[in-house]
Structure 1
Amino acid sequence: MLMSNHILVVEDDHSLAEWISDYLIEHGYSVSVASQGDYALTMIAEETPDLVLLDVMMPVKDGFEVCREARQFYQGPVLFMTACSEEGDEIMGLDVGADDYLTKPVRPKVLLARIKALLRRTSDAPAKELLKFDQLELDAVAKVVTVSGEKVDLHDNEFDLLWLLASRAGEVVSREELTQKLRGIEYDGLDRSIDIRASRLRRRLQEAPPQPYIIKTVRGKGYLFCEEQA
């Protein structure tokens, strides 16, 4: 019998936590629930769930604090739930290491799609394990990027975007495809999550030692990993 994926639901609204738990169990997942941020950190360390579904507004420690501290020892996907649709919350979530976010009220089918996409991303091994471009090297197994031998600190979601673009160097990859592959949802023409991720990725690479490859925005089309022209 196959082991089901284990999801930790971190939510202080007991009725919502119960609804999410029942829904996920119904779809074949095993579920634990934490109602406080400090409890969540203990459970993440002890249970090592396959995915953490994390509310932002939590007692004792909020979701941002939990994610920041958990990233010191936990490598699995973190999916934020927030009642705020402001871009600042998403940026803050990415800063502390979240992989994706959901805006409340949570829609069941969207929740399931995001969870499946994140779990698939962590379980699917790329056809290639290493990409090299002059001084830039990407290791898909360790999810490590080095430039001229120096490691570049990237969150997993930033690495996944870079890998997808770099594996198709010289080709424009559309926002539609990036949204589908990285978030498991259809692009609605308004979602800026991929743009925010690309912007943060660019900034991190620019802070690394000089290297000739860039991520270029192709207006109205998508993104292109290419060699910078002198």
Structure 2
Amino acid sequence: MEQLKILVVDDESRMRKLVKDFLVKKDFAVIEAEDGEKAIDIFFADKDISLVILDVMMPKMDGWQVCREIRAYSQVPIIMLTAKSDERDELLGFELGVDEYISKPFSPKILVARVEAILRRTNGFAADDVLKAGAIEVNKAAHEVRIDGKSVDLSYKEFELLTYFIENQGLALSREKILNSVWNYDYFGDARTIDTHVKKLRSKLGDKGDYIKTIWGMGYKFEVED
């Protein structure tokens, strides 16, 4: 089986080596970039990158701008690394389409576990696994969403969230349950992460965004109207 390729972007060579060593042990192919501009050049030159690990504070072009540039053309999963623990930065990252957010210092083993979880979910679906809810059709194998037959571009986490909603139609889902199920047990976020993603998902679904009902004080329910 061909190795999955991961782009690691950080201006600290010691940090890049640490992350690379742990990823290589798990049989991933790793490409390094020491600044944002080089990261963009590599990403668009190499069409086979499966995931990006991206530091926020870098010379020439910071992680936010790199994320914007990539998201304009691709929905490849992005894990953001930051020395800050400011929740405003975290929310900005999710607004820009970051899939996971890890504050330094972090455990390399946890980082690798998150990489594996993301790639397992994005690459490991059954080929015939298609979900339908009203006018929405989700093809988990192709990682594709269609509404009334027209393709809709979602980020990795928006896709996961929509899939989770459809698989749990009619159930009242608390924010905590959604966090645990979609972001996994090792994500230390808060309810605003869910609200931010639901807002963006509703917007991208157009009038079908009304399928996602808000349960005030608790969470959400996905319900297709007749």
Pick the TM interval, shorter chain: 0.7 to 0.9
1:13 lines up with 2:12 in the alignment = yes
The answer for unaligned runs of 5 or more in structure 1 is none
In structure 2, the partner of 1:115 is 115
Residue pair 2:133, 2:224 contacting (<8 A) in 1 also? no
In structure 2, the partner of 1:200 is 200
> What TM-score comes out, normalization by structure 2 length?
0.82
The alpha carbon displacement at 1:5 in A equals 2.1
In structure 2, what residue type is equivalent to 1:94? F
1:46-125 matches, within 5 Å, as 46-47=45-46, 48-125=48-125
Query: Measured at CA, do residues 226 and 36 of structure 1 come closer, stay the same or move farther in structure 2, by a change above 3 Å?
Result: same
SS at match of 1:68: helix
The alpha carbon displacement at 1:68 in A equals 1.4
Aligned length: 223
In structure 1, the partner of 2:221 is 224
In structure 1, what residue type is equivalent to 2:27? G
Distance in 1 between residues matched to 2:156 and 2:97, nearest whole Å: 8
User: Structure 1 vs Structure 2: percent identity of aligned residues?
Assistant: 35
Deviations 1:200-226 (A, max 9, x none): 334544xx2366522334645x53212
1:209 lines up with 2:203 in the alignment = no
In structure 2, the partner of 1:27 is 26
The alpha carbon displacement at 1:172 in A equals 3.1
The alpha carbon displacement at 1:55 in A equals 0.6
Deviations 1:81-124 (A, max 9, x none): 11222222222222322211111112223212211111112112
Query: Measured at CA, do residues 151 and 100 of structure 1 come closer, stay the same or move farther in structure 2, by a change above 3 Å?
Result: same
In structure 2, the partner of 1:162 is 162
SS at match of 2:207: coil
Residue pair 1:145, 1:152 contacting (<8 A) in 2 also? yes
Mean Cα displacement is larger for which, 171-180 or 114-123?
A: 171-180
Residue pair 1:10, 1:54 contacting (<8 A) in 2 also? yes
In structure 1, the partner of 2:3 is 4
Cα root mean square deviation, aligned:
2.9
The answer for unaligned runs of 5 or more in structure 2 is none
Distance in 1 between residues matched to 2:31 and 2:125, nearest whole Å: 27
Residue pair 1:113, 1:185 contacting (<8 A) in 2 also? no
Distance in 2 between residues matched to 1:185 and 1:3, nearest whole Å: 29
Distance in 1 between residues matched to 2:19 and 2:40, nearest whole Å: 20
In structure 2, what residue type is equivalent to 1:13? E
